[in-house]
Structure 1
Amino acid sequence: MRIAEQVTFGGSALNRAAELRGNPGAIAAQLADAHARALPIWRGKPLLTGEALDLPGWLPLDHAVFAQAGRPVFLGLDDTGPRFAFDISAWEPEEAPDTLGAFFDPSQQRHPALPGDHVFAELRGAMTRMTPRAAELVATAKAVLSWHHTHGACAKCGAPTEMTMAGWQRDCPTCGAHHFPRTDPVVIMLILRGNSVLMGRSPHWPEGMYSLLAGFVEPGETIEAAVRREVFEESGIRVGTVDYLSSQPWPFPASLMFGCRGDALSAEIEVDTNEIEDAIWVSREEMMDVFAGNSTRLKPARRGAIAHFLIWNWLADRLD
């Protein structure tokens, strides 16, 4: 797919400068660079600013917001200087809404040491307004810091681990094991039969919202096999030819989505309600109405997600 890297979180050509991570002197030099900036992440929510909340809230590394933060994660070299991220989840705002941790948290938090136009906000609500570079940096920061938050103990012996390699590794001082950021492979599939696409919905989604079927790749399984297995498990539809189209890093919390196209070999749907709530065939004509906002039956997949990207480009005949 020639436009594959135009998907959200892809295609910014960020220089991650991975060769510097194991060199403490080089990282110290990056931290001391006058152009170095860091992004605070609070409980999975990045600091955002700008009129449309489309800009990461980059701050000097000596900013008061980072006073109680742990060690920084080195994100790479942006065009204007080194970029880092800090987890400041220890900060307690005056009010913590009930929506924290929800599928989509619309609340915003303001830190007393920051201007009023700087807020901690849900990335899902801002990702489509960001430049590719900003989106990649924020997604990377969110995913890596989320991994650190949930992997503080050694998976081999259970002892506490320590951040190393500028945030890209955790080492166990007890047994010597090394641990690396986790990325979960997920297939998401545009399953076509004639002029229709297979759509499904999970029970916790907004009413009327349907998207492409998706599922985790299992150990010892190819991407193509995972597509066929997941589609059959969820909908009872058999799939023949499978083609890879595009990928998307998805930092909720840390997946890599493999977008694929598959040819359906059957039409009768048998939903496994343990997997999804519903599945339907949607014609190209109806899907065009859905994307135009003219459908009273369906809502489109969320903008910014690879499902939206694949369906939109199917409608536009741009899957080549």
Structure 2
Amino acid sequence: MNTPFRPGLTGSRLDRADQIRVKDELLDEVRGNLRARLLKLNDLDPEINPDGTLVWGSMADRPDDAELLFLGLDDGIPCFAPLIENQPPAGQRAYAVWRHLDIMPPEEASTYAAARSLIEWHRGHLFCSRCGTRSALSKGGWGRKCPECNAEHFPRVDPVVIMLATFEDKALIGRQPLFPPDRYSALAGFVEPGESLEGAVTRELFEEAGVRATSVRYLTSQPWPFPNTMMMACIAPVEDDALTLDTEELEAAKWVTRAEVQGAYDGAVDAAFIAPPHFAIAHTLLRAWVDGK
């Protein structure tokens, strides 16, 4: 990855091997490979080893009612995830998986994120949006195809901007009611149709906090599989530090200094807030600002 930043959930070692997933005969070969591995999951949550690496089984571990999603090749070894279609999308809930992400290396979490996002997408898109017929897996699980009208459907990724507003030597952080007590993060929001990243950052900052961006600088990105967003991190200086909060979106917001952010990262007893978890891109964003990037 050609960037000075390494967000969590990035850097998977898997070769997605598009040349295989577009040809049924090659997919049959990798499915029959004696070294092929199947990702072990508890519904959508991963099984992990003590060092945080993913647990893989053999193809013999495949549940009877599971289809196979071809994730790619790991040093030539085919890797799959099981898809049980009759289970509903997870929806919003308290994520027990966060305890696993806390110890998972970024590249392992990245592989898991791809598998989880694919599974959730399939469970929520079993029927053709054009004609309503139940569709079938295609391209090794990286798409679906309707047997009636031949429409092809591909996994959806929703674009989200996550941004740090800055004024003089301060940065703006906020919290939602669902956050753990005292946890704050960067502000974020979905990119709307017909909108640039810069436009989305500017709009969201004004809507949520009443501050007007004077410029927007893109920093880095992260896939976030809860369920399927692409987080794009930006830094945006603003005109002034007066806040007008949208209390439907934010429970609270405040300006913090670099020293206060560093205190949160250090776990100081008098820290001004609890920092976002290290695997979240908000952590990377605040770290970059503290380091003057």
TM-score under structure 2 normalisation?
Answer: 0.92
The corresponding residue for 1:62 is: 60
* Equivalent of residue 187 in structure 2, options 207, 213, 217: 213
**How many angstroms apart in 2 are the aligned matches of 1:297 and 1:133?**
31
Asked whether the 8 Å contact 1:42–1:89 carries over to 2, the reply is no
CA offsets 1:71-106 (integer angstroms, 9 cap, x no match) = 111111112511110035879xxxxxxxx962223x
**Which amino acid is 2:28 matched to?**
A
Q: Distance in 2 between matches of 1:199 and 1:132?
A: 24
Aligned residues: 289
Higher mean C-alpha deviation, range 147-156 or range 287-296: 287-296
User: Which residue of 181, 194, 198 corresponds with 2:168?
Assistant: 194
AA in 2 matched with 1:18: D
Note the residue ranges of structure 1 that are not aligned, 5 or more in a row: 92-99, 106-121
Contact 1:35 1:80 (C-alpha < 8 Å) held by counterparts: no
Matches of residues 1-320 of structure 1 in structure 2 within 5 Å?
A: 2-4=3-5, 6-12=6-12, 14-48=14-48, 50-52=49-51, 54-63=52-61, 66-79=62-75, 81-88=77-84, 102-105=93-96, 122=97, 124-294=98-268, 295-317=270-292, 319=293
> Residues 164 and 255 (structure 1 numbering): CA distance in 2 closer, same or farther, change over 3 Å?
same
Distance (Å, rounded) in 1 between the aligned partners of 2:219 and 2:252:
25
Secondary structure of the residue aligned to 1:189 is strand
Distance in 1, Cα, partners of 2:141 & 2:7: 26
Distance 1:249 1:159 in 2: 30
Stretches of structure 2 that go unaligned for 5 or more consecutive residues are none
Name the CA shift for 1:13/1:224 in 2 (closer, same or farther; >3 Å). Answer: farther
Contact 2:260–2:271 (CA under 8 A) maintained in structure 1 = no
RMSD value, Cα: 2.0
Q: Residue by residue, what CA displacement relative to the aligned partner does 1:35-76 show, whole Å, maximum 9, x if unpaired?
A: 21011334321222x224x1211110112xx23232111111
The Cα of 1:234 is off from its aligned counterpart by: 0.3
Q: Quote the offset at 1:277 in angstroms.
A: 1.3
- CA–CA separation in structure 2 for the residues paired with 1:175 and 1:89: 21
- Residue by residue over 1:226-277, the C-alpha shift from the partner in whole angstroms, topping out at 9 and shown as x without a partner, is 0000111000010011111000011111110001111111210000111221
**Cα drift, residue 25 of structure 1:** 0.9
CA distance in 2 between counterparts of 1:186 and 1:141 reads: 20
Q: Is the contact made by 1:10 and 1:249 (CA closer than 8 Å) also made in structure 2?
A: yes
In structure 2, give the amino acid aligned to 1:87. Answer: L
What letter matches 1:316 in structure 2? D
Q: Write the deviation string for residues 130-179 of structure 1: whole angstroms up to 9, x where unpaired.
A: 33432221111001011001111211222211111110111112222111
What do the CA deviations read for 1:168-226 (whole angstroms, capped 9, x no partner)? 11111222211100100000012111111100111111111100000000011000110
SS of residue in 1 equivalent to 2:31: helix
Does the C-alpha gap of structure 1 residues 296 and 314 become closer, same or farther in structure 2, counting only changes over 3 Å?
A: closer
Identity of aligned residues (%): 36
Distance 2:105 2:260 in 1: 31
2:102, 2:277 within 8 Å by CA — same for their partners in 1? no
Distance 1:143 1:17, change over 3 A: same
What is the rounded CA distance, in whole Å, between the counterparts of 1:18 and 1:153 in structure 2?
Answer: 24
Higher mean C-alpha deviation, range 207-216 or range 164-173: 164-173
Three-state SS of the structure 1 residue aligned to 2:58 is coil
**Structure 2 Cα separation of the partners of residues 35 and 80 of structure 1:** 9
Amino acid at match of 1:202: Q
Q: Distance in 1 between matches of 2:182 and 2:46?
A: 29
Q: Distance in 1 between matches of 2:76 and 2:27?
A: 16
The aligned amino acid for 1:307 is: A
Secondary structure at the counterpart of residue 57 of structure 2: coil
- 8 Å contact kept, 2:85–2:122: no
CA contact (8 A) 1:188 1:257 kept: yes
